Structure 1
Amino acid sequence: MPLPCPRCCLPRSAMKPAKNGRPDLPVVAMHRRGFIAGAGAAGALTLTASPLAAASAHAQAVAALTPARGRLLHGTFPGGFTGEEDDITVAQVKAYEAAVGKHVAWVMFSHNWFQGRRFPSQTARWILAHGSTPYVRLMLRSDSAEMRREPKYTLKRIAAGKFDADLARWGRDVAALGAPVIAEYGTEMNGEWFRWNGRWNGRAAGAKLFRAAYRRIIEVTRAAGAQNIVWVFHVNHADWPNVRWNRFENYYPGDDVIDWCGVSVYSMLGPDEDEPSDFVASLDQAYRRLRRLAPSKPVIVSEFGTDIRNPREPAAPWADRALG
């Protein structure tokens, strides 16, 4: 996994001017371990079974976590100890905050289903108790190996409802928190390293299956009461492989189920790589595409960074250029 930028990212304006001269939707910037993000503190919600009230509760959750224009907040992705990104601790978060002198608004972590299908309520609750918002990467996979086909939690089986009971329980557990939560399924789905990418699921047919699977996840969890989830469509800034069937637009499940769009922008992914990526140019290309795809949705930078071990691209100057 790529190591994060070693520098703290301070709040700054991330507004992009629209063609009509008025401010466009805010770009909310985040990066692995240290990310800045426009969001409000987690607030209590009252969830009810009425469709109208449920829609209102969901709108409240989105509003609570959407930044005021021109404002960004600081968060973190601690990473944990094992590399699975699901064993984070409050001590790691506090150590990060002490180092950078900032309280974090969001704390990101993975929920790997090979570790269990129940929502990690204990992790979410200590994040909330810390005064931050949980950001959960829902990873339906049998193990953490990359570049291979998923044998169990396939897109086809998810879309067919084979895991509805588990997802409904997952949704009820999230609803029981009584506070807004950020969640995503299918992280960087246009990157072939993850099993939900089209390469492992029939290429163009796989993108269609992904849409159906993600919609199923959101619909089942919402029906179970989890109106407090802000759902993110999280793409890699570049399609890999760069072929028509793998364009991230093909994977988008729809405005009615997605609240925000997110982007990963990494440069060097290892100490020996020699092809750096410019953060601003990479983000701008993805941003333009996302704005055409979902013009009503805010765009966040869900992850960014460069490998601190790579001597060809010192991480601190790269981060300064990215945030300057």
Structure 2
Amino acid sequence: MSNRSLRFWARNRTNARLTAIAASALVVTLGAVSWFVWSSPDSPVREAADTVVAAANPLTAQNALLQQQLKTAKGQVASQNGKLKNAAAAAAASAAAHAKQVASLQQQLARTQDQLGALEAESDTGTGSGDKGSSGGKGSGSKTTNATKPPKVPAAGSPGGDSTPGGTEKPDEDPAAVITAPSRDSLLHPEHRYFGMYTEQAPFNWATLDATAKKIGVEPNVVGYFSGWDEDFRVSAVQRAWQQGRLPLMTWESRPIAAGNNSNSAPEYSLPTIIGGGFDAYLHQYAKDIVATGLPLAIRLDHEMNGTWYPWSELNGSGKAINGNNVGDYVKMWRHVHDIFQAEGANALVIWVWAPNIINNMQPSSHTTQEFLAGYYPGDDYVDWVGLSGYLRPPWRAGNDFTAGYTFDRSLDQLRTLTSKPIFLAEVGASETDGHKPGWVKTFFEQFHDSKNADIIGFSWFSLAITSYVGGERSTNDWRIDSRSDSLAAFAEGIADPAADFTLIPAD
């Protein structure tokens, strides 16, 4: 390259060096100025740059706002969760208080019913609309009797016993002062067999029982009713029963009276709780109240224990505990209750009835053996009568010939293997389903003709129509004596047969 081609600032080496030095100084100076401008907080250039950066990043402010909103929402959620927990706790406390209030109201209702029962005793006519036609099952209307109806209690101030307009004598204003009853010992071994009945509201109202008795032509001398362990002893039930000359048979269930039969769970009433003394105060007072009446009664305590449907049973079909109970607890419970009554003197008035369920389709096979039943028996020292609950009821087992022998014989054999105590069929009935009832009723009374059944001292018929669940299906069974005319006729004829040896009290 020729010297002519050099730029003016680099025509020689000296100029070139000076030019390079000047350029470097300029760069340093510009850098210093730039640093000063950018590092100064009040610099308009810096503010302009920040504005440009903010404009270039619009999501920064929005993100900060969203973060703040998220924080606020989290706080609100935490606050609502706290309020929800407090509300749940308050609801639980309210429910517990409500349950206690309901229990208290139930007790008040029971006491009120007792008072109403006593008032009804003063005005109850005791009459019913009996069917006297040919379908009523009375035949010619004449019956062989081996007993007469006990006299009514005279009204106060009326030696002759003034009657109410309906025809039933009015009881004394103080029924406890005039009511009498046979001795317990004479009741234990009756001269003739007992005929008992469960009906709606008896013994607190006799309308249904008396109406049915008129259709049969014979009055029952046993009246059955139910009571729970949330109820005090119902004095009026026993008094009203004996006013009519009837032995009261109380089925006493260790659970609340309003409990449904669709559950076998009642933890507060478990057998270990009873054995451990959880109900001792209640039991002592109950026994004292019985003694105060001076009147005998039969108590069927926690019946059908060999099934799986009540909370006083011990095992289900899989061998698992029911209601927290242990094997052997039922016997311990029974003896515990019996011992308390003995200590209070109540056993001088009480006939203890131990009544399992018959062998049938409702039980698992493991619950139908002799050994299983024996595990529930408290012993002869603690039992006065043994009994059974037994029904003609669907579903039908193969081989069922629809006779009372098929229904009861196997279970009666098990009872007789356990003990020689008198047998009282404490709860019996027959369903109208499929039309087998009249024939079954006929065989039911024929079984009393057989000498092998001489130890059966009577029965109590469950004369109600009940809807329940069997095998998970809803079913209505009409157990009433007068459910149909042919069933009623078979019953009336059977009980009047002298060979059956029942106490026959003509119905008014």
TM-score (norm 2): 0.47
* Structure 2 CA distance for partners of 1:207 and 1:87, relative to 1, 3 Å: farther
**Structure 1 position 202, deviation (Å):** 2.6
Alignment gaps of 5+ in structure 1 = 1-5, 13-41, 46-59, 81-85
Is the aligned partner of 1:133 residue 2:225? no
1:117/1:166 contact within 8 Å kept: no
2:254/2:312 contact within 8 Å kept: no
2-side partners of 1:153 and 1:72: how far apart?
35
Residue in 2 that maps onto 1:321:
443
The one of 150, 160, 175 aligned to 2:276: 160
Residue in 1 that maps onto 2:428:
304
2:392/2:407 contact within 8 Å kept: no
**Structure 1 position 63, deviation (Å):** 3.1
1-side partners of 2:273 and 2:435: how far apart?
42
Is the aligned partner of 1:174 residue 2:290? yes
Residue in 2 that maps onto 1:76:
197
2-side partners of 1:77 and 1:265: how far apart?
14
**Structure 1 position 223, deviation (Å):** 1.5
1:187/1:234 contact within 8 Å kept: yes
1-side partners of 2:410 and 2:285: how far apart?
38
Residue in 1 that maps onto 2:333:
213
Deviations 1:42-93 (A, max 9, x none): 9648xxxxxxxxxxxxxx514324222xx3232211143xxxxx88522222
Q: Residue 220 of structure 1: SS of its match in structure 2?
A: helix
The one of 358, 376, 399 aligned to 1:237: 358
Deviations 1:197-217 (A, max 9, x none): 112673796341000111111
2-side partners of 1:268 and 1:317: how far apart?
14
2-side partners of 1:249 and 1:313: how far apart?
35
Residue in 2 that maps onto 1:262:
387
Residue in 1 that maps onto 2:223:
107
Amino acid at match of 2:254: L
2:388/2:424 contact within 8 Å kept: yes
2:367/2:373 contact within 8 Å kept: no
Q: Residue 243 of structure 1: SS of its match in structure 2?
A: helix
- Cα RMSD over matched residues? 2.9
TM-score (norm 1): 0.72
Q: Residue 74 of structure 1: SS of its match in structure 2?
A: strand
2-side partners of 1:7 and 1:175: how far apart?
41
Residue in 1 that maps onto 2:321:
202
**Structure 1 position 274, deviation (Å):** 3.9
Q: Residue 131 of structure 1: SS of its match in structure 2?
A: coil
2:181/2:245 contact within 8 Å kept: no
2-side partners of 1:149 and 1:251: how far apart?
19
| Pairing of 1:15-26 with structure 2 (within 5 A) | none
Residue in 2 that maps onto 1:97:
213
Alignment gaps of 5+ in structure 2 = 1-135, 146-178, 447-508
Is the aligned partner of 1:124 residue 2:249? no
Q: Residue 293 of structure 2: SS of its match in structure 1?
A: coil
Residue in 1 that maps onto 2:120:
none
